[in-house]
Chain A
Amino acid sequence: MESKRERELIIIGAGPAGMTAAVYAARKQLDTLVITKDVGGQALWSSDIQNYLGFTFITGAELVKRFEEHVRSFGVAVEYSSVTKVSSVDDSFEVVTEDNRRFLARALIVSSGKSPRTLNVPGEKEFLGRGVAYCATCDAPLFAGKNVAVVGGGNSGLDAAVQLMRICPHVYIIEVADQLRGDEAIQNTVLRADNVTVLTGTTVKEIRGDSFVRSVVVQDVHTNNIRELDVEGVFVEIGLSPNSDFVKDVVKLNKWREIPVDCGARTGVPGLFAAGDVTDVPQKQIICAAGDGAKAALGAYSYLVRRPVPTDWLKSQ
């Protein structure tokens, strides 16, 4: 199935950056399509937001709901699908989705955010949703009464461990570095618990099971000793990686696979803009992503009407 009509703008992703871009594009009356797997991105996972202006406190889910309502009020078209490939076709961009549909646009904003990093060990994919989990906030309660492992000793790993140690008989924390990396306060909470074992200098080699996870195989990085821990859940909390693979043939990524942008959300490729956590902007904040989304949409508008801001304009001010 193909959709050959060329639009003015496609926005990939509907987190804070993509949704803000959609509102700005709609207000500029650009013919816009948003293509996204889900709505909210990483913002959805925040349980406690106190630094988005206008709200002294709001949950990620509630803020995202308001964003979505705001976008909907402008009637922006949305396709719910994952993007698998972007390529340049003449002066346009072709966007291919997982269900093999093709969309064309003269300008493109990539605001596809980040996803949880994976371990890339045997058993991880096979047991996804069958003991392997990436969202402790979602799935921790399902593991009540079971022994579990958390991979990652940073703040998100320790957060997961704190949720799990209240409901599970035993929690292992597996960290490759020689010490935990999270904030001291949460480290202390975890270290004081008598049902938590911290294994530093340890990597995961394999996740094993039958129809569900039954154990995790770990290795001491110094002694190379292998151990098999009996667990029914493995929570992977080893950070995030940018959702940028589909665009790598069109724009050069940096070594963290982020999309480099300038202060105008431009990528250096004419007509291609990027915003939010998928870019090399170091501040991974909702409000920054939203602002970058606005810049990207305004940049796309300027590009489309062939009225780029003249460089001598700034000098004359």
Chain B
Amino acid sequence: MPAKNVIVYSTPTCPYCIQVKEYLKSKNIPFTDYNVATDIEARNAMVQKSGQLGVPVIEVDGEIVVGFNRSKLDQLLS
């Protein structure tokens, strides 16, 4: 099965963002991390996809999870 495309939109200071990234690393799931504090283009993409201005936002194969919601994230990753 091909690996899922996982994107994390985060800010460096947000503790939940740190937790999401640690969680993905602990499960050996590769992901692309966009720092939306500085990357305006990524920030706009995040707002457009999630309708939200808050981090973290996680995208798994086009599906959006707002906040570090482990059970929802696990569902999408399984």
Contact = CB atoms under 8 A, between A and B. Distances in A.
Interface of A: 38-40, 44-45, 47, 59-61, 64-65, 80-81, 99, 129-131, 133, 135, 137-144, 211-212, 233
Contact of B13 (A129, A141, A211): A141
Contacts of B55: 138-139, 142
Which residue, B14, B22, B53, B66, has most C-beta atoms of chain A within 10 A? Answer: B53
B16 interface: yes
Interface in B32-78: 36-38, 43, 51-55, 66, 68, 70-71
Contacts of B13: 47, 137-138, 140-141
B16 A44 contact: yes
A210 to B, nearest CB: 12
27 contacts: A38-B16, A38-B19, A44-B15, A44-B16, A45-B15, A60-B15, A61-B18, A64-B15, A65-B18, A65-B19, A65-B22, A80-B71, A81-B71, A129-B66, A131-B53, A138-B11, A138-B15, A138-B16, A138-B54, A139-B11, A139-B53, A141-B13, A141-B36, A141-B38, A142-B43, A142-B54, A211-B51
Interface of B: 11, 13-19, 22, 36-38, 43, 51-55, 66, 68, 70-71
A133 B55 CA distance: 10
Nearest to B11: A141
A38 B68 CA distance: 8
Contact of B51 (A60, A130, A138): A130
Given A59-B15, A141-B13, A142-B43, 13 more contacts: A38-B19, A45-B15, A60-B15, A61-B18, A64-B19, A80-B71, A129-B52, A129-B53, A130-B51, A130-B52, A138-B11, A139-B53, A139-B54
A65 B70 CA distance: 15
A39 B16 CA distance: 9
A40 B71 contact: no
Interface residue SS majority, chain B: loop
A129 B52 CA distance: 5
A65 B16 CA distance: 11
Interface residue SS majority, chain A: mixed
B14 A135 contact: yes
A142 B37 contact: yes
Contacts of A133: 53-54
B65 to A, nearest CB: 12
A288 B38 CA distance: 38
Contact of A138 (B17, B38, B66): B17
Nearest to A136: B13
Contacts of B19: 38-40, 44, 61, 64-65
Nearest to B17: A138
Contacts of B22: 65
B75 to A, nearest CB: 11
Nearest to A139: B54
Nearest to B70: A80
B55 to A, nearest CB: 6
Nearest to A213: B53
Given A80-B71, A131-B53, A211-B51, A139 B14 contact: yes
Contacts of A47: 13
A223 B66 CA distance: 41
Contacts of B36: 141-142
Contact of A40 (B15, B53, B70): B15
A138 B52 CA distance: 13
A60 to B, nearest CB: 6
A140 B12 CA distance: 11
Contacts of A60: 15
